[in-house]
Chain A
Amino acid sequence: MKDSAPPGKLSSTLLSSENIFTGVIMALLLAILALFLLYPVVDICRLSFFKDGVFTIQNYVDYFSNPRIFRSFYNSMFVSAVTMVITTVLAFFFAYGLTRTTMPAKGLFFTISTLPLIAPTIIQALALILLFGRNGLITRYLLGTDWNIYGATGIIVGEILYCFPNALFILYTTLSAVDTRLDEAAQSLGASSLKTFWKVTLPAAKYGIASAAALTFNLTITDFGIPVVIGGNYSVLATEIVSQVFGLQRFDLGATIGVILLIPSITAFMINYYLTRKSYAMISGQARPFLPPSRPLKKWAFTIYSVLISACILLVFVTVFFGSFVRTWPYDFSLTLAHFDFPSLGASVPLWTAFWHSVLAPGPLRDMIAIKYAPIWTSLLVSLVVAIVGASVTLVAAYIIEKKKPRGEQLLYSLSVLPAAIPGVVLGLGYVLAFNKPYFFIYGTVWIIIINVIIANFTLGILSGTANMKQIDKSVEEAAVSLGAGPVTTFIRIIFPLSKVAFLSTATFFFMRGMTTISAVLFLVSAKIKLAAIEIIFLDVDGRTASANAMCTVVVLVVVLFLVIMRLVTGRSGLTGMSAAK
């Protein structure tokens, strides 16, 4: 053995193109997340603890010693806990019916149950008010009672309808993954159906159940749209933050409540995240054997149950849709388009105004489209940019995290999944505190909204991106490199085409969030820049309920249109010919 180097040229790779590529992107991503995620959150904490540059817990003392605002904490915990229990139970049996029985029309039930994802969370509240409000169709018109749904009941029912698909996804995955042969084994050993359910099915799904519950809790406690519309005097943390900031200009107290809201929200998120991983670790990957026909009683019981749940979800959409076309709910049911002539006089991003002015002749129609529909166009623009940029950035980030595994990859991953734990209202307020400064030139433009929506929904993009990357064989990339492809070529020619499906579904998700998100961007809209989903709230608060319904209908229609286009596009691009997964 010799110690000296053999003769010949030594070439160094410290500055190889590969390392530069990874390093630059890594640094860029970390910088983006530090600036647009960490900094605002840190700024909120700073504001809540410091007064005139001196550390103080005065804000917290104020909060806990004021019974009226302190109530919001209790209220939030209460509605979230109740929603969590009811939603998890309802979704569990729905998922059970879909996975373990031979009831008919499973595909239809599943599709209907996902509907809440395409609408702003406010839609549930609007529908409940139309049906059970002071002038509710059922309460006032049919029953003639003075009871109405405003307050805790309304929030809970609304949140259940909104959280249902989210809990269902987790439980559906869990129950499809748990090996049904365990059930069969138990029954062949003489256990009754009920006993099998309690002793085998339920324990096997326990992580999934707990993770669905934690997610529901997190979604409910961070939601703003439903409580602001239907909560009435029943204040929760999210609405309290907004009323402190908007109503009383108490940014410090708003920040304090934000920090308080962070605690249960982050806890619930971490429980959900941890349990989801644990639950997926139990997935056997075994092909499921044939599902034997369910007994008629079981089959029909689950069918009726699924019909009822689906009907409730559909009813929300039908009610709001119908409510936007009738003249005076619930007294005059003659149809009209009047509510679609929105009263808002919002400006638009100049780009859109110029566009409409160039394609339409002057007149009332142009005014309506260019001015009154401005929030829709702004939302559309924001959502399209969010879809493309959000899906691209998360794809690249997932690629770096999963395939390159550079130093600091753990940090990048942790930061990337963090946004789901941070309530939109808190992040939005953080943006105001952190970026409302003269030198921060994109504040007050549409770009800060775009960034906010991307960051707030970063988590799901990263999770679906890394799941996709895990499916791409490491050797495929190495093959490309060994054949002489550089990092950029490898990404564009190999990784991206193999991620097309994931990219399109992430883009669709980002688009839907862009159109429907409320809480995160609430603080970032202005008289100049309005968003459709936020406009629903303002219209509703303004007492123009019918127009709020109409705006909500338009948002839903835009999302549906987008989904249809995506389906047509991806159907035609021959994605089926590709085989990322062998």
Chain B
Amino acid sequence: MGRNLKLENLTKRFGKLTAVDHVDLEIEEGEFICFLGPSGCGKTTVLRMITGFETVTEGYIVFDNKVINDLMPKKREFGIVFQSYALFPNMTVEENIAFGLKMRRMPKKAIAERVDVMLDLIGLSDWRSLYPAQLSGGQQQRVALVRALAPDPQVLLLDEPLSALDAKIRLRLRAEIKRLQQELKKTMIHVTHDQEEALSIADRVVVMEGGQFRQVGRPIDIYKNPICNFVADFVGTSNFFQGRRTGDNVDIGKRKIKVMQNGAGADESVSLSIRPENVEVFKKGAPPGVTEPMNLVSGKIDVVVFQGAAVRLLINMDNEEIISDIIEKDFEQRSLKQGDEVYLYFPPEAFLVFPDGEGRK
């Protein structure tokens, strides 16, 4: 077993407010973990407890089999990258990167070599003697990244490092962080509210809400098999229905819909969710051949949003809005347009069924 980081029963209360509520997690050495959740869900608080800037109310943080709850931040030797970059404005790029090395009393020559390696890593060697204010946001954050990496920290913690950057730079830097992580095999913990960022970058994603971990898993599992309404809603987009279940059928008010997923008992109130890309849309006319005619429903296209490779349709079905994403080619082929009367088809196997009372709805 490597130098794993374990959160055990970790809790943080600010007065009466419980920001982090008894969470458990084991992070393996070299793993890239992403905490994902809306603002106020407690993800930053978890990160700050790991860094040591926030005290632990209850539970333990264990690193390399030692409880580090009360260890000073500087003794933890964890690197941190901040949302605001937090470069030292009074020092050059080079001096910023060398700072942590000087603090560790490395010999001058070794520092110079290490700084060179770090600058090469981010391709900013020509900028070494500039001050942070002379760099763009993306460049500053890259410097901040290697400044944190320079002393070879045990774990690198990234607190929404990309959210202050504009969209294009964000994508570039996201790829760069991923590359660095794979090259250096460093344990990284990344906090974000951007689900796309979390899914694309992490080995495992921790979805948080209300101070609790709702789901921990690989990005694909989080997306395909969300275990509750909240995750299904927060990660990606979903259509939701409320209803009562009888065997394979769910009664959603006016109509019955067939579902495949098991798990919920009979005559239990449930909620259904289905991803927009799984909702098929056909022009009205001859009913298309589908495996489950029961799940074929009429509707009318209210809004068409062109999104590049896909087209998002907002469809009125019994005065409820259903979102469907169909690929652009199909959209053309079926010559759909706004105001069209259409058939919606919900494949039974595409539904996720959650017992009610779990999650948000």
Contact = CB atoms under 8 A, between A and B. Distances in A.
A480 B8 CA distance: 28
A8 B4 CA distance: 13
Interface string A568-582: 000000000111101
Contacts of A473: 84, 86
Contacts of B8: 1-2, 6
B154 to A, nearest CB: 12
B74 A484 contact: yes
Given A475-B83, A479-B82, A579-B133, A497 B90 contact: yes
B9 A1 contact: yes
B106 to A, nearest CB: 11
Given A1-B9, A485-B103, A476 B86 contact: yes
B94 to A, nearest CB: 14
B66 A482 contact: no
B82 A485 contact: no
Contacts of B132: 579
Interface in A546-582: 577-580, 582
Interface stretch (A10-18, A103-111, A528-536): A10-18
Contacts of A494: 88, 90
A483 interface: yes
Interface in B70-94: 70-80, 82-90
A543 interface: no
A314 interface: no
B151 A480 contact: no
A404 to B, nearest CB: 13
A5 B70 CA distance: 13
A483 to B, nearest CB: 3
Given A8-B66, A475-B84, A577-B131, A483 B90 contact: no
Contact of B133 (A10, A13, A582): A582
Interface string B51-76: 10100000010100111111111111
A136 B204 CA distance: 87
B74 A486 contact: yes
Interface residues of B, number: 45
Nearest to A11: B71
Contacts of A578: 89-90, 131, 133
A6 B89 contact: no
Contacts of A18: 72
B12 interface: no
Interface in A216-236: none
A6 B62 contact: yes
A335 interface: no
A interface, over-half SS: loop
Contacts of B88: 476, 479-480, 493-494
A484 to B, nearest CB: 4
A16 B90 contact: no
Nearest to B76: A482
Interface string B284-310: 000000000000000000000000000
Interface in A1-33: 1-2, 5-13, 16-18
Contacts of B43: none
A228 to B, nearest CB: 47
B86 A479 contact: yes
Nearest to A14: B70
Contact of A482 (B6, B71, B78, B85): B78
Contacts of A480: 88, 99
Contacts of A526: none
Contacts of B80: 478-479, 482
Contacts of B68: 11
A498 interface: yes
Nearest to B82: A475
Contacts of A16: 72
A11 to B, nearest CB: 5
Contacts of A498: 89-90
Nearest to B51: A482
B148 A482 contact: yes
Nearest to B131: A577
A481 interface: yes
Contact of B65 (A8, A13, A481, A483): A8
A445 interface: no
B147 interface: yes
A386 to B, nearest CB: 27
A267 interface: no
Nearest to B62: A6
Contact of B79 (A7, A482, A485): A482
B22 interface: yes
A60 B132 CA distance: 63
Nearest to B159: A475
Nearest to B81: A479
A12 B68 CA distance: 9
B226 interface: no
Interface in A466-508: 473, 475-476, 478-486, 489, 493-494, 497-498
B278 to A, nearest CB: 38
Interface string B143-154: 010011001000
A312 B296 CA distance: 89
A481 B60 contact: no
B172 interface: no
A11 B104 CA distance: 20
B84 A484 contact: no
Contact of A484 (B22, B60, B66, B103): B103
B85 to A, nearest CB: 8
B67 A5 contact: yes
B100 interface: yes
Contacts of A582: 89, 133
A579 B84 CA distance: 14
Nearest to B69: A10
A493 B147 CA distance: 16
Interface in B93-152: 99-100, 103-104, 131-133, 144, 147-148, 151
B72 A483 contact: no
A577 B133 CA distance: 8
Most buried by A among B77, B89, B104, B148: B89
A35 to B, nearest CB: 33
Contacts of B60: 5-6
Nearest to B55: A13
Contacts of B24: 1
A552 B182 CA distance: 72
Contacts of B67: 5-6, 8-10
Contacts of A489: 103
Given A6-B60, A473-B84, A579-B131, A484 B90 contact: no
Contacts of B84: 473, 475
B66 A475 contact: no
A475 B144 CA distance: 12
Interface in B3-25: 6, 8-9, 22, 24
A479 to B, nearest CB: 4
A111 B67 CA distance: 61
Contact of B22 (A1, A11, A577): A1
B109 to A, nearest CB: 19
Closest 10 CB pairs of A and B: A483-B100, A484-B103, A475-B86, A579-B133, A8-B66, A497-B90, A475-B82, A479-B86, A482-B80, A13-B70
Interface of B: 6, 8-9, 22, 24, 51, 53, 60, 62, 65-80, 82-90, 99-100, 103-104, 131-133, 144, 147-148, 151
26 contacts: A1-B9, A2-B8, A5-B67, A8-B62, A8-B66, A10-B67, A10-B69, A11-B68, A11-B70, A11-B71, A13-B71, A475-B86, A479-B80, A479-B147, A481-B73, A482-B76, A482-B79, A483-B147, A484-B100, A494-B88, A498-B89, A578-B90, A578-B133, A579-B133, A580-B89, A582-B133
Given A6-B62, A577-B133, 15 more contacts: A1-B9, A1-B24, A6-B6, A6-B65, A9-B66, A13-B71, A473-B84, A475-B84, A478-B73, A479-B80, A482-B73, A483-B74, A498-B90, A578-B131, A579-B133
